[in-house]
Amino acid sequence: MSQKPKRDRGANYTAEEKALLADLVFQYKDIVDSKTLGGAFLLKKKEAWKAITTKYNSNSTTGPRETEQLKVLYDNMKQKSRKKVGELNNSEQNIGSECVIDDALKQALQHMKEDKVQMNKSCSSDWKPQVMDSDTNIPYSMHNHIEPLTNPYDSASIFFKDEDAGTNCTEPVQIIEVDPLNPPVSNLQTVRDCMSDESLVMDQNNIRSPPLRVLASASRKINKGVTPQNTKSTTTSETFKKLYFKKKCQNAKLEQKKIMIEVMHLKKEHQLKIHTTSTAAPVSPKITPPISPSVPISSSSLQSTILDEQCFE
């Protein structure tokens, strides 16, 4: 049986070589770590890796390496660094959360349940929560991940710890009954004093404005079969224009045909006239008397011959 040839394995990378590769890649990080595609950019990335390999091989101690080997090493380094960062975050989260005994956890959940029942029953903030400081040592995973909006003026503000300076009024509220016929002056004075008390004035900086809600316009369903009025008007005007120009072209073609027919008729009429004139009666030839050369021609005889010819014609 033929045995497969063993792959020549190079020496392991040293810590100095890994640090050298990280420094070289950092110089070309905008090109090497970019996700841009395209032939020109890939060519630029290949040239960057060539420059990295030449610089690495000039300073390496375990021998020269190829570009593909350095790429694999860089990918492994990135994967290990991501894994270390994830483990570090998990360890920090586990250290922050303390271990809770089952009995203490049950007691804390029972207190929270009773507080919710009392909050739903009572409309005011007279009830006192039963949750203790020791109950707050529950891990983060046991709490609700959804936190309500802060409102210090709600009846349940104490339960959600949304207290404000204006609401922390330890003095009891005095109910004043005023007789409309005989109003007591002392009670009115106490009301004025309460209104002018600084503890009842709300600080504008402590007021938490509720988040604004932007109502998006409802999306309307548009039937594709039904065309809007604007498109209808434009389509009708365009169709009328097309019909008008089409009719005009037809009229021009008919006028051209009419002119051609008239020209043909005129040509035929002209040919007929020429034919009729050529087929008319022939004219008799002119008869001139012979003139003897020996006899001299006198002027009187020449005139008489001319007159005879005119009469003959």
Residues 26 and 76 in one domain: yes
Say whether pLDDT at 99 is over 60: no
How many domains are there within the chain? 2
Check: CB of residue 305 under 8 Å from CB of residue 313. no
Residues 49 and 116 in one domain: no
User: What pLDDT is stored for residue 52 in this prediction?
Assistant: 92
Q: Which residue has the tokens 């709600």?
A: 154
| Residue finishing a domain among 135, 168, 201 | 168
Domain interval for residue 44: 15-96
How do residues 3-57 score in pLDDT, each as one tens digit?
767 666 777 888 888 889 889 998 998 888 888 888 888 899 999 999 999 999 9
Q: Is residue 152 part of a domain?
A: yes
Q: Is residue 92 part of a domain?
A: yes
Q: Is residue 35 part of a domain?
A: yes
Report DSSP state, residue 138: S
Joined together, the tokens standing for residue 43 give: 């060519």
Q: Is residue 125 part of a domain?
A: yes
Residues 88 and 123 in one domain: no
User: What pLDDT is stored for residue 54 in this prediction?
Assistant: 92
Residues 65 and 108 in one domain: no
Residues 109 and 164 in one domain: yes
| Residue finishing a domain among 120, 139, 168 | 168
Q: Which amino acid is at 91?
A: S
Percent of the chain with pLDDT over 90: 13
Residues 105 and 137 in one domain: yes
Check: CB of residue 53 under 8 Å from CB of residue 70. yes
Check: CB of residue 168 under 8 Å from CB of residue 153. no
CA dist., res. 165 & res. 210, Å (int): 18
| Residue finishing a domain among 108, 142, 168 | 168
- Reference 67, options 84, 82, 49, 55; nearest CA is 49
Q: Is residue 36 part of a domain?
A: yes
10 Å CB burial of residue 130 (0-12, 13-18, 19+) is middle
CA dist., res. 278 & res. 300, Å (int): 40
More confident residue, 244 or 209: 244
Q: Is residue 242 part of a domain?
A: no
User: What pLDDT is stored for residue 112 in this prediction?
Assistant: 75
Say whether pLDDT at 260 is over 90: yes
H/E element holding 133? Answer: none
Residues 107 and 65 in one domain: no
Q: Is residue 261 part of a domain?
A: no
